[in-house]
Every structure is written in structure tokens, then in C-alpha cells.
Structure 1
Amino acid sequence: MMKKLFKVALTLVLAFSLAACSSPKTTGYKAGTYTAEATGMNGPVKVEVTVTTDAIEKVVVTEHSETPSISDLAISDMPVRIVDAQGLGVDTVSGATITSKAILEAVGVAMKDAGADVEALKKVTSKVQEKEEDKEYTADVVVIGAGGAGLAAAVTANQEGASVIVIEKMPKVGGNTILAGGALNAVDEGSETAIANKDSVELHYTQTYEGGDKQGDQELVRTLVTNAWDGVEWLQSLGMEFKEGTFTVLGGMWPRAHKPVEPVGTGFFNAYQNYIDSNENIDLYLEVTAKEFIVEDGKVVGVIAEGKTGNKITLHANNGVVLATGGFGQNVEMRQEYNTLWANLDESIKSTNHAGATGDGIIMAEAVGAELVQMGNIQLLPMGDPETGSLSGNIEMGVENRIFVNDEGNRFVDEGARRDVMTTALFEQPNSHMWVILDSHDYPTGDEVNNFNESINQLVKDGRAFKGDTLEELAEQIGVDPANLVKAVEGFNTHVADKSADEFGRTLYQDPIDQGPYYAGARIPTVHHTMGGVKINTDAQVISTTGDIIPGLYAAGEVTGGIHGANRLGGNALTDTVVFGRIAGASAAQAK
């Protein structure tokens, strides 16, 4: 059986067999080595291209600031694809499209310098590999999806003594979890941090339930919050490290979020990888897409899947199947079909989600009779990158120290409110566009990095953030009225001083905005989380439309519905993946 098919960090590599199916005139290049750059997700991506008179000999990415684990596959494989194809019409790497396009653009600039017909090179594509033979595997537990919930389930099932196979349709692991800021809500009752913050599991429960307009299943909410700290300790037992203390993540309502030492979601996957590399009977297959469940006598006993070359892969599960395929934030048709909360969720509204968040697992589960709940509950947040919709480039370090202003320089909402409240207010602003404003309390030197491993100095250099020694100078750079911006900051500072609620009802404060240099970053509304999905019980068993348990089928993570209600608290999604991923893995492993 294929073993250990992935490396989460810089070692994630796949083998490709690509061949050009058409070619322009490939003679007449000016032999030599050429350098060029293009803008990626986090800044410039620089390449070095070596050509002979008739061939692209070598492509190397020499410098970049892309996020580890998210961009690794593009950095390693796009140069290989270009050289093998001898052209620029090759496919981008799914889940790392922006980085892939930056590499293609930079290589195109270099090839133009070498005298190539770049437009002709863009027409050179790669033919698909020949279809591989059909395959058949058996394990105690089959997990569909290698995001946060799927790998939590896989590791737990293996710890319970089960053999495990994980399949993932994308060419890399991670799902939405690896794109997240890493904040995980959990209350360690009795700790100095919880006592100082006057936090408790009960408060976490109340805020989660009421924050979702009391639409969440109370038993599921209770399961989430009471098992959250156990999940943190479990992650630590796998080698994952968290920074000291807690903070308030956007829309989290309380300072109970734990921040991993490693950036974005990479810490989770490095911990899972280390476990998988060190243990037997747990295998992962990438670029394998689940198509349908195998059902015998009413019980789910396996999965029919398709390999990347179109071959059939049959997976038998002795004990059970865990569905962990995520939500449908990137499926515009499904968003529009189920949306009940927003005026419009068509392609004009970008998403923070990875490319594979298309709702496949929800459709599969519905086909075997699973009940879908609260599908209209789709979360937007006001923190999308104006170009991509992603969370990348968000300059905030925590809720307490920053404000939002519109294009006129005026505040317009409680910046510590629920995500739906903030997003609704943002849609009402000119251009549905805002600026995050903060100062050097969060960035004393400028070399500090945000939750996505980007330094403010680099963001300013790349034109993705702005810096001014005074508020007036900052206002001029971002095109807002200086008097309005100064008034907004002064009003905020007044309430920081006396900790009183302001005109928007804001009560979360820490430091005033009074230490230059000052910073601003642009943000727009973006689709972030689909709270609806497959109905489960507290054992993560999938429930049918008749109210019965579907034997052999379990689910965890964003593919499920009924936990978060109409609005998900910031920091609860990663908690969800760990808590219910572990429950699903254990339940499937123990089933017979």
C-alpha cells in the first residue's frame, strides 16, 4: 500500500509525468540565465530561468514570502511542469493558484527577455497521464478529506487501534484549516488566564449558542465547548505548540483564542504529519476524489473514488467511514441555492476558502439519505483581501487595538461585534470597503508578523498596507478625510481610557491608537464559512431524513450543520475540527 504520501511543510512534493502536446518555434532563444518577478499571495515571487538556444533548461524560484504549506507545492512543482512541457500553458496547482500564476507570469517575463514568443508559449499545454489501473484497498476506517477534521479523525482512529486510509481530492492536505489564522477557542477553567479574563466553559457555551441566534443544537454546542480544552492538550501531546495566553479573534466575542506558535494552520498539520510518519496502518492518498458511498444492507461500508487519471479506486471500510470534506464556500451555485441571509452571494463575492470547498461530501451524504440542516446559514466576514477575498494581508493582531473606518474616514460599527453584524454594516458603506486602522502598539518595529506570517514592513513595501508617521499622513495615503480619521481615533481613545461603551456599543479595548507610525489595510466582505450541512449527533454519527442513524457513516468539521447556528463565533471552527474530528475518529474505530 502506498505509504506516507505527504509532507506538510517544504517537503511536500508530487511526481508529475507531463509532456508537451503542442509547441511553438523553440529555436532562437538567447541562451543564458534570466531573472524576473511577479506578485504572489504575500508579495514578490522571484524566479531564475536558464535557457539554451532551443529549450527551457531550468526554472528555480529563488525568493518568495508565500505562506509555508499553502504555497509549497506550487513552489516545487510549477517549475517542473514548465520545464517538462517547455511552455507556459500548464495547469496551476489547486489550492495555490495565486502563487502558481505568479510563477508563470515571472517566467513569462524572463522568457520575453530571452527572446521567446511568450504568447505562443502560453498555448503549450500538458497532456493528461495515461489512465492508471483500477485499485482496491481495505482498512478499518476510511476518512474522506485531509483537512483539519479529517486528519484529527484519522489520527484518533489510529490511536484507538484502527487501520486508517485517508483520501483527499486536492494535491495537498490542509483544506480551509491550513488557510486559517490558527485561532482556536478553548477554556482551561482554573488557569490564571481564564480567571483573569473571567472566562468559563459556561460562558463559552452561552456565547456560542446565543451568538448563533440559538439555532445551534444545544447538545452539540455543549459537546464542543466541554471538549475544547481536552483537544488543545491532545494537540500538545502530538507536539503542537501554542503561544502563552489568549486573545480575542475577530468575532470571537471574548479573549479565549489560543494562537499556535507556527503560522496560519501549519502547526496542526505538522503535528498530524509527525504522528502519521511515526505510526503504522495509517495511509494517505492525494488527488483521489470520493464519488459515492458503498452501502450494503443499509450500512455504509466503503467509498467509490476516482484517481487523478480517471481510474476507479474502491475503498472498503471494516468499521466505518468518516466524512470530512468541508463546506461549500467556493461553490457559487450552492451558495446561491441555499442562501437565505444575504442579498447576493454570486461570483462577485469572493471567498476565503480553498479551491476544494465545493460541497461534494454534502451531496454524497444527501444521496444516501442524510438530513441536511441549516444550509442557508452562510457566514461572511468583513476581512477579505480586495483582490483575492482571502484572509491574507489582514494587518490586525487582535480585536482590542484596532478600529474600522469607511472610505470617508468614519467609524461605522462595533469592531468587537459578531461577524454578521460587522459584515452587514460594511455592505452599507461606500463601495462596501473599509480600512483597518492601528498603530505601533501591535507593530513596535515593523518586523512583527500578522496571523498569516506576513510582516507589516513587507505588506507596506508591497502596497498591501499603508504607513504614516501621523494620522494625517496616513489619511492622505489611503484617500480618506484626515479630519474624519483623526476624530474617529480620538473618539476611540476616549473610550479606551474609561473603558466605557461607545456609540456603537463597543466594550473591547486594550491600548489607545496613539503611537506612530500608524498603519492601514483595506478589507472587503468575503464568504468565509458555511454553517449548514450534514446532521450529526454527539457521537458524530450521521442522521437520516427519517431521524435514524445511518450505520457506518460519521461526519466532522464544516461538512456538518447544526452546531454554530446562524453565526459562528470566530475561533470556534478549529475547535470544531479538533473536537468532532476526534469524536468521529473514535466512534468509527470502535464501531463493528
Structure 2
Amino acid sequence: MHDKLSTTPLRHALRRSAAATLSALSVFSVFAVTAALASSAYAAAPTPMKPGVYEEVVRGNNGPLTVRVTLTADRIEAVAIGDNYETDYIALEPMKNVATEVVRRQRLDVDTVSGATESTTALLRAVFQAVTEAGGDLNDFLKAGAVDPATLPGKTVKADVVVVGGGGSGLTAALTAAKAGKKVLLIEKHETLGGSTALACCSLSKPSSLDTGDATPAGEALRKTEPQLLALLSELGVNFKNDNAGSLAVEGMVLVKKLEDAARAAGVEMLTSTALYKIERADGSDGAVTRVLAQDGATRYEVDAPAVVLATGGFAYDIERVISTMPRWTALTPFATAAKTSTGDGIRIAETAGAAVFEDAHVIAGGLGARYAELDRAVALSGGIPNGVLVNGRGVRFVNEAVPDLTEKAAMEDITWVIFDAADAKRAETFSKYLTFEVVVDATDWLTLARRMGVHAETLAQTMKTYNEGVA
């Protein structure tokens, strides 16, 4: 049940979301955070970069974070932390450690640090930006090795099923095949398993909430497989928590560990730090896959198998593919919450082998978030926004705010604002700190608020009028 939103003096408008009765209003834009998974590839030689010192400013946990990245033609020479608003005793040492690892290993898939995840992720994002700005190829700092696989000693492996990709999907596929009595080999290009699943708080739909009327192939598949997946995970002893009326939640790392342990116990052989670089198919009309080729920098693996499962995920950090398939998301790729190995190379290898790629690329929106952590704490988005109003960049309300998961809907909008009650003095005080950060605006009437939001004034006024009449 929505409370009526009044047109009495508005206080703040801020980029994000909120809930309460609106007598004095605030608005804030929401960022729909994208997510994707991972894959792998081989490149013969690194792409030359323009040498220099690149100063990048990214969004840290508490505000802008400046990072100076020194690059040569083929190396990340230094990563220095500049001006920032991070909490020293929490984030400074972890950021320094991550910077040291990037330079030492010449890799960008360095693990972030628990407890300082936002800060260390921001630092890595800055290095990503610097490499891209210098004309470099991110894959040069993400692949499993830069040697030519043809020069490596070969090893032939036989399996009934090969699974490429060790995230949640790959581990589930490997376990399922092993439970069916198959000899399974799993190949993962990163040194650890988990992919983006390990970074997530996984949410699964309850069977009772799946009858949404979605008649698409994806909707049908969800209704068929979700109960099966829940049964499998329950069998493994995964304990779920109710996060809202329609979902069950579990930490991603917990899920990965349960799946990994079960897969190893079922006899799945696993090769980590091993990158797929070619899929071979038989001659003839059916063109069946006969083997896959992978390498770990020391050994070339020639894996003969009649069945291959590609679970290499998506392409959050494949800028070229993002630009070509979903250009409106390009500017948000630095904010992706996918594993840093999500470079789309598994998809490219599959295309080279003649695989058909689903053309309607889809963004997995992992969550809604304001620009700064303090705003996130001031306004929670989980469980829907039953008393707030979400409008898009045109000033049009586009979703029922009471639904538990608003992310997918918000992800399809160019920008999202939330109108809320600024009568809450404590919350309003927090928002007032960010009036100069271009994420919060305020006004005393709908038309002025719309102008400051940058949306069509008459449209917003009509949206709010319609809303108020509907809840009267």
C-alpha cells in the first residue's frame, strides 16, 4: 500500500532510491550495476601501450580515489595511490598490497581484499582505465600465459565430458555429469575457482514464485531447472536465508565451496590456471566437437572428449563486444562487479569454432547503488521501495516499487531517480552533504525539482499527479 505523495516543499533529489511518505521530496539517481562471468584466451604478443604516467580518478568506497599508473610499452611499471577519502586503517594497506601484486605479477585479475572490497576493486578499476587509455589490451594482463602453446610439451587427456569454466555454472555442470557416472575434466583459467559466483550474494527464486507468466524460453527453462538446482544444493547441505518474499539467499563463496567439494568427491579432475585456446570439430555435416586445446604456460593439453560444456560466462571487460552489442552500457563497464577474468575470450573461441551466439546480449544487473557508501547506508534498496517513486530520465514512473527486485527494470533505463520523503531529518542531513557531488538535488516544487534532475518538468508533474491520485 503506497502512501500519498504530497507536493508540499521538496527537500532533496539524489541519485538512488528511498522509501517513505513524500511530503518534502528528495530524489536520487540509481546506478544499475552490471555483472557477468568469465572465459579465457591466448594472445601471441602484448599490444603496445603508450608509455607515460596516467592519473585516473575513480569512485572509491567513500568518495573519489586518485590513482597514478606508470606504464611502459609492455609493462605496468608502478601503481601509486593519490588523494582519496578511504578509511586509512581499513583500506590503505589492502590497496597498497593489491597495487604491489599488480606490478609484481603483471596481472589485473588480482584478488580484492575482504573488508576493503570496494576500495581495492576501485584501485583495480583505475589500472584497467589506465591500460585502456594507453591503448593496451586488457587481455594481455588477464590471460593464463603469453607463450605460444605450439612450443609447449603436449599431454593427451581423455574424458567423457569437458567443462570449461569453474564458476557456479561450470561446477554444477561438472558435478551433475560426474553424478551420472561420467569421467569429467574441468578447466579454469584463473588460479582459483568460483568466477563471479564467488563475488556474489547468490539469490535463487523459490519454486512458488516462479509462475510469473514469462513464456519465453528463458522463463520456461527457469521454471524447469530452478527446483532441480535447489534440490541439488539442499542435498549438498547449502543453507539458504530468506532475503525477501520471492528469493532464497546464500553467500557466493559458500556456494562455490560446497560445489567444489562435492565435485572433487565425485571424481571431477580440475585444472586451474589453464586457459582454453581452441575448440576442434570433426569434418562433415554434423561438425561434432572432438577435442579442446588448453595450456597453463608449461603444458599444452589436448583433451579428447565427445561432450564439451562451455561455462565461460560473459564479457563484462571485453570493451569491444560491449560497444558492439550494448553500447549504452560502455560507460558503466568500470563499475562492473564481475570477476576480472570476464574478458569474453571463451565466447570468441566458440565463435571461431562455428558456434551460434545468442544475439540479444543481456546485462545481469547485480544491484542498485548510489555513488557513495554513506548514501547506500542512508537508503537501503533491498526488499523493494514500497513508499518511494522510481522515475527514469524522462520523468516517467516505470515500475511497481513494492516488488522485491527492482534491479532488472532499473537496468533497462538510461538513469533512474527515486523520489522520497525528506522529512526524515537524519537522512536529509546525510543527503545534504552530497548536494555538490551531483548526486543529490533539492527543490520546493515539482517543476523546479524536475529541472534540477534534468527531466521533463511537465512529465514529472503529471507522473506525480497520477501517482497521488492512484493512492488517494
Residue 345 in structure 1 maps to residue 335 in structure 2: no
Counterparts of 1:129 and 1:371, CA distance in 2: 27
Shift of 1:470: 3.0
For 2:219, the equivalent position in structure 1 comes to 221
Within-5 A mapping of 1:130-279: 133-187=153-207, 194=208, 199=209, 201=210, 203-204=211-212, 206=213, 208-209=214-215, 216-217=216-217, 221-243=219-241, 245=242, 247=244, 255-260=245-250, 263=251, 265-277=252-264, 279=265
Contact kept in structure 2, 1:41 and 1:392, CA below 8 Å: no
- Pick closer, same or farther for the CA change 1:90–1:323 going to 2, 3 Å: closer
Aligned counterpart for 2:316 among listed residues 319, 329, 341: 329
- Provide Cα deviations, 1:271-290, integer angstroms capped at 9, x if missing partner: 1122134x153122112111
- Pick closer, same or farther for the CA change 1:229–1:137 going to 2, 3 Å: same
For 1:299, the equivalent position in structure 2 comes to 288
Shift of 1:156: 0.9
Counterparts of 1:42 and 1:159, CA distance in 2: 47
- Pick closer, same or farther for the CA change 1:105–1:324 going to 2, 3 Å: closer
Within-5 A mapping of 1:321-470: 321-339=308-326, 344-347=328-331, 349-350=333-334, 351-378=336-363, 383=368, 386=371, 395-400=380-385, 403=388, 413-414=398-399, 415=401, 416=403, 419=407, 421-425=409-413, 427=414, 432=415, 434=417, 470=426
Contact kept in structure 1, 2:189 and 2:274, CA below 8 Å: yes
Shift of 1:267: 2.4
For 2:267, the equivalent position in structure 1 comes to 281
TM-score, normalised by the number of residues in structure 1 = 0.46
Shift of 1:332: 1.5
Residue identity matched to 1:230: Q
Where structure 1 has 5 or more consecutive residues not aligned to the other structure, the ranges are 1-38, 44-61, 67-73, 107-127, 188-193, 210-215, 248-254, 440-467, 489-500, 510-592
Please give the secondary structure, in 2, of the residue aligned with 1:333.
helix
Please give the secondary structure, in 1, of the residue aligned with 2:201.
coil
Please state which structure has a larger fraction of its residues in helix: 2
What is the percent sequence identity of the aligned residues?
A: 21
For 1:481, the equivalent position in structure 2 comes to 442
Q: State the number of aligned residues.
A: 333
Residue identity matched to 1:316: D
Please give the secondary structure, in 1, of the residue aligned with 2:270.
strand
For 1:96, the equivalent position in structure 2 comes to 111
Contact kept in structure 2, 1:95 and 1:354, CA below 8 Å: no
- Pick closer, same or farther for the CA change 1:433–1:96 going to 2, 3 Å: farther
- Provide Cα deviations, 1:109-158, integer angstroms capped at 9, x if missing partner: xxxxxxxxxxxxxxxxxxx9997744332222110001111000011111
For 1:313, the equivalent position in structure 2 comes to 301
TM-score, normalised by the number of residues in structure 2 = 0.56
Counterparts of 2:419 and 2:191, CA distance in 1: 34
Counterparts of 1:246 and 1:101, CA distance in 2: 22
Contact kept in structure 2, 1:352 and 1:384, CA below 8 Å: no
User: How much is the aligned-residue C-alpha RMSD, in angstroms?
Assistant: 5.0
Residue identity matched to 1:284: M
- Provide Cα deviations, 1:184-216, integer angstroms capped at 9, x if missing partner: 1131xxxxxx4xxxx4x4x23x1x34xxxxxx3
Residue identity matched to 2:338: N
Counterparts of 1:273 and 1:393, CA distance in 2: 37
